[in-house]
Amino acid sequence: MECLVELEGINSWVIASWLVLILFVAGILKAGVFTHLVRHSELQHRFLASIVFLSLLWHIRYQIDFGPAFHFLGMAFVTLTLRGSLALLAGTIALSILALLGKSSWLLLPLNIALTVLIPVMITFLCIQLERRANFRNFFAYIFINAFFGAALTISTSILLGVASCWLIGEESWSSDHSLLLTYLPLIMMPEGVINGMLVTGVMVYFPHWLGTFDPTRYR
Protein backbone atom coordinates (compact mmCIF):
# COMPACT_ATOMS: atom_id res chain seq x y z
CA MET A 1 0.00 0.00 0.00
CA GLU A 2 1.36 3.39 -1.00
CA CYS A 3 0.08 6.92 -0.67
CA LEU A 4 0.29 8.85 -3.95
CA VAL A 5 -1.56 12.03 -3.02
CA GLU A 6 -0.47 14.97 -5.18
CA LEU A 7 1.28 17.61 -3.08
CA GLU A 8 1.35 21.27 -4.08
CA GLY A 9 4.94 21.69 -2.97
CA ILE A 10 7.60 20.87 -0.42
CA ASN A 11 6.56 21.66 3.13
CA SER A 12 8.12 21.22 6.55
CA TRP A 13 6.84 17.70 7.17
CA VAL A 14 8.19 16.50 3.81
CA ILE A 15 11.64 17.82 4.72
CA ALA A 16 11.38 16.24 8.18
CA SER A 17 10.36 12.89 6.70
CA TRP A 18 13.36 12.94 4.36
CA LEU A 19 15.70 13.69 7.26
CA VAL A 20 14.23 10.75 9.15
CA LEU A 21 14.70 8.55 6.05
CA ILE A 22 18.36 9.58 5.77
CA LEU A 23 18.93 8.74 9.44
CA PHE A 24 17.05 5.47 8.94
CA VAL A 25 19.25 4.39 6.01
CA ALA A 26 22.38 5.55 7.85
CA GLY A 27 21.38 3.41 10.83
CA ILE A 28 20.98 0.35 8.60
CA LEU A 29 24.38 0.90 7.00
CA LYS A 30 26.01 1.53 10.38
CA ALA A 31 24.75 -1.84 11.58
CA GLY A 32 27.30 -3.49 9.28
CA VAL A 33 24.81 -4.81 6.76
CA PHE A 34 27.07 -4.28 3.75
CA THR A 35 30.04 -5.91 5.50
CA HIS A 36 27.95 -8.99 6.20
CA LEU A 37 26.62 -8.92 2.64
CA VAL A 38 30.08 -8.73 1.05
CA ARG A 39 31.31 -11.71 3.04
CA HIS A 40 28.51 -14.03 1.89
CA SER A 41 28.15 -14.39 -1.88
CA GLU A 42 25.04 -16.59 -1.63
CA LEU A 43 23.35 -13.94 0.51
CA GLN A 44 24.15 -11.37 -2.18
CA HIS A 45 22.17 -13.42 -4.70
CA ARG A 46 19.18 -13.63 -2.37
CA PHE A 47 19.40 -9.92 -1.63
CA LEU A 48 19.46 -8.91 -5.30
CA ALA A 49 16.73 -11.42 -6.14
CA SER A 50 14.57 -9.92 -3.38
CA ILE A 51 14.99 -6.43 -4.85
CA VAL A 52 13.94 -7.67 -8.29
CA PHE A 53 11.04 -9.65 -6.80
CA LEU A 54 9.72 -6.66 -4.83
CA SER A 55 10.16 -4.24 -7.74
CA LEU A 56 8.15 -6.48 -10.07
CA LEU A 57 5.51 -7.27 -7.45
CA TRP A 58 4.98 -3.62 -6.50
CA HIS A 59 4.88 -2.58 -10.14
CA ILE A 60 1.51 -4.37 -10.40
CA ARG A 61 -0.88 -2.02 -8.61
CA TYR A 62 -4.25 -0.35 -8.64
CA GLN A 63 -4.47 3.33 -7.76
CA ILE A 64 -7.56 5.00 -6.34
CA ASP A 65 -8.41 8.55 -7.44
CA PHE A 66 -7.90 10.12 -4.01
CA GLY A 67 -4.43 8.71 -3.42
CA PRO A 68 -4.08 5.11 -2.22
CA ALA A 69 -2.26 2.66 -4.50
CA PHE A 70 -2.87 -1.00 -3.68
CA HIS A 71 -0.46 -3.84 -4.38
CA PHE A 72 0.70 -7.01 -2.69
CA LEU A 73 3.62 -6.52 -0.29
CA GLY A 74 5.60 -9.76 -0.11
CA MET A 75 7.63 -8.29 2.76
CA ALA A 76 6.84 -11.15 5.14
CA PHE A 77 8.56 -13.59 2.78
CA VAL A 78 11.52 -11.26 2.23
CA THR A 79 11.90 -10.64 5.98
CA LEU A 80 11.84 -14.36 6.75
CA THR A 81 14.47 -14.88 4.06
CA LEU A 82 16.86 -11.98 4.64
CA ARG A 83 16.07 -11.02 8.26
CA GLY A 84 15.35 -7.49 9.41
CA SER A 85 18.14 -5.15 8.30
CA LEU A 86 18.64 -6.59 4.82
CA ALA A 87 14.87 -6.79 4.27
CA LEU A 88 14.58 -3.10 5.16
CA LEU A 89 17.39 -2.22 2.77
CA ALA A 90 16.02 -4.39 -0.06
CA GLY A 91 12.55 -2.87 0.28
CA THR A 92 13.94 0.67 0.39
CA ILE A 93 15.97 0.10 -2.78
CA ALA A 94 13.02 -1.53 -4.57
CA LEU A 95 10.69 1.36 -3.77
CA SER A 96 13.38 3.87 -4.82
CA ILE A 97 13.65 2.07 -8.17
CA LEU A 98 9.89 2.47 -8.66
CA ALA A 99 10.21 6.16 -7.83
CA LEU A 100 12.93 6.46 -10.49
CA LEU A 101 10.57 4.81 -12.97
CA GLY A 102 7.82 7.28 -12.08
CA LYS A 103 5.59 4.67 -10.43
CA SER A 104 5.94 6.17 -6.95
CA SER A 105 6.19 9.67 -5.50
CA TRP A 106 9.61 11.08 -4.59
CA LEU A 107 8.14 13.57 -2.12
CA LEU A 108 6.19 10.83 -0.36
CA LEU A 109 8.98 8.23 -0.59
CA PRO A 110 9.76 8.29 3.17
CA LEU A 111 6.08 7.81 4.03
CA ASN A 112 5.69 5.01 1.50
CA ILE A 113 8.82 3.27 2.79
CA ALA A 114 7.29 3.37 6.27
CA LEU A 115 3.98 1.96 4.98
CA THR A 116 5.37 -0.62 2.56
CA VAL A 117 8.67 -1.65 4.13
CA LEU A 118 9.27 -0.60 7.73
CA ILE A 119 5.89 -1.49 9.26
CA PRO A 120 5.63 -4.90 7.51
CA VAL A 121 9.16 -5.83 8.60
CA MET A 122 8.41 -4.82 12.20
CA ILE A 123 5.17 -6.82 12.26
CA THR A 124 6.83 -9.89 10.75
CA PHE A 125 9.65 -9.62 13.28
CA LEU A 126 7.06 -9.43 16.06
CA CYS A 127 5.37 -12.58 14.75
CA ILE A 128 8.73 -14.35 14.68
CA GLN A 129 9.38 -13.43 18.31
CA LEU A 130 5.91 -14.56 19.40
CA GLU A 131 6.29 -17.88 17.60
CA ARG A 132 9.68 -18.46 19.22
CA ARG A 133 8.41 -17.60 22.70
CA ALA A 134 5.48 -19.96 22.26
CA ASN A 135 8.13 -22.63 21.56
CA PHE A 136 6.08 -24.56 19.03
CA ARG A 137 7.72 -27.82 17.95
CA ASN A 138 5.82 -28.30 14.70
CA PHE A 139 7.43 -26.49 11.76
CA PHE A 140 3.96 -25.70 10.40
CA ALA A 141 3.74 -23.12 13.19
CA TYR A 142 6.62 -21.25 11.54
CA ILE A 143 4.75 -21.18 8.23
CA PHE A 144 1.29 -20.30 9.50
CA ILE A 145 2.21 -17.76 12.18
CA ASN A 146 5.05 -15.96 10.40
CA ALA A 147 4.08 -16.33 6.74
CA PHE A 148 0.29 -16.70 6.46
CA PHE A 149 -0.85 -14.78 9.54
CA GLY A 150 2.11 -12.40 9.54
CA ALA A 151 1.61 -11.43 5.90
CA ALA A 152 -2.13 -10.90 6.36
CA LEU A 153 -1.45 -8.70 9.38
CA THR A 154 1.21 -6.67 7.54
CA ILE A 155 -0.99 -5.76 4.59
CA SER A 156 -4.03 -4.97 6.74
CA THR A 157 -1.98 -2.63 8.94
CA SER A 158 -0.33 -1.06 5.89
CA ILE A 159 -3.71 -0.38 4.26
CA LEU A 160 -5.29 1.04 7.42
CA LEU A 161 -2.39 3.42 8.01
CA GLY A 162 -2.09 4.19 4.29
CA VAL A 163 -5.73 5.19 3.87
CA ALA A 164 -5.51 7.30 7.03
CA SER A 165 -2.33 8.98 5.73
CA CYS A 166 -3.88 9.78 2.34
CA TRP A 167 -6.89 11.26 4.12
CA LEU A 168 -4.75 13.41 6.44
CA ILE A 169 -2.44 14.60 3.66
CA GLY A 170 -5.11 15.15 1.02
CA GLU A 171 -7.63 17.93 0.95
CA GLU A 172 -10.69 15.68 0.68
CA SER A 173 -12.82 14.97 3.73
CA TRP A 174 -13.51 11.42 4.87
CA SER A 175 -16.08 9.91 2.53
CA SER A 176 -17.90 6.66 1.89
CA ASP A 177 -15.12 5.78 -0.58
CA HIS A 178 -12.60 5.69 2.26
CA SER A 179 -14.87 3.49 4.34
CA LEU A 180 -15.57 1.21 1.38
CA LEU A 181 -11.86 0.49 0.97
CA LEU A 182 -11.70 -0.83 4.52
CA THR A 183 -14.47 -3.34 3.82
CA TYR A 184 -12.23 -4.97 1.21
CA LEU A 185 -9.54 -5.78 3.79
CA PRO A 186 -10.49 -9.48 4.19
CA LEU A 187 -10.37 -9.91 0.40
CA ILE A 188 -6.84 -8.51 0.33
CA MET A 189 -5.53 -10.18 3.48
CA MET A 190 -6.19 -13.74 2.30
CA PRO A 191 -4.28 -13.55 -1.02
CA GLU A 192 -1.35 -11.81 0.69
CA GLY A 193 -1.20 -14.57 3.28
CA VAL A 194 -1.48 -17.30 0.65
CA ILE A 195 1.24 -15.82 -1.59
CA ASN A 196 3.74 -15.44 1.24
CA GLY A 197 2.80 -18.77 2.78
CA MET A 198 3.25 -20.65 -0.50
CA LEU A 199 6.61 -19.00 -1.14
CA VAL A 200 7.88 -19.79 2.34
CA THR A 201 6.59 -23.37 2.11
CA GLY A 202 8.31 -23.92 -1.24
CA VAL A 203 11.59 -22.49 -0.02
CA MET A 204 11.40 -24.51 3.21
CA VAL A 205 10.95 -27.75 1.25
CA TYR A 206 13.67 -27.24 -1.36
CA PHE A 207 16.05 -24.61 0.05
CA PRO A 208 15.53 -24.36 3.84
CA HIS A 209 18.94 -22.72 4.29
CA TRP A 210 17.61 -19.69 2.40
CA LEU A 211 15.31 -18.84 5.30
CA GLY A 212 17.55 -16.80 7.57
CA THR A 213 15.00 -16.85 10.39
CA PHE A 214 14.32 -20.61 10.29
CA ASP A 215 16.06 -22.83 12.86
CA PRO A 216 15.36 -26.49 11.97
CA THR A 217 16.75 -27.70 15.31
CA ARG A 218 13.72 -26.21 17.09
CA TYR A 219 11.22 -28.41 15.29
CA ARG A 220 10.54 -32.12 15.25
CATH code where residue 42 lies: 1.10.1760.20
pLDDT at 3: 83
Average pLDDT by stretches of 10, the chain with 220 residues: 76 82 84 81 94 97 81 97 93 96 90 94 96 91 96 95 83 69 86 97 94 88
Query: How far is Cα 135 from Cα 113, in angstroms, rounded to an integer?
Result: 32
Where is 68: in which H helix or E strand? Answer: strand 68-70
Helix and strand numbers (H, E) in the chain are 11, 3
Stated pTM of the model: 0.92
Taking residue 25's Cβ as centre, other Cβ atoms within 10 Å add up to: 16
H helices within 83-149, ranges in order? 84-100, 109-113, 119-134, 139-141
The tally of domains found in the chain comes to 1
User: Within 13 A of 84's CA, how many CA atoms are on the CB side?
Assistant: 16
Residues 6+ apart with CB under 8 A from 141: 131, 134
pLDDT at 173: 64
Domain limits for position 98: 2-218
Asked if residues 203 and 70 have their Cβ atoms less than 8 Å apart, the reply is: no
With H, G, I as helix, E, B as strand and everything else as coil, classify residue 1: coil
Query: How far is Cα 170 from Cα 182, in angstroms, rounded to an integer?
Result: 18
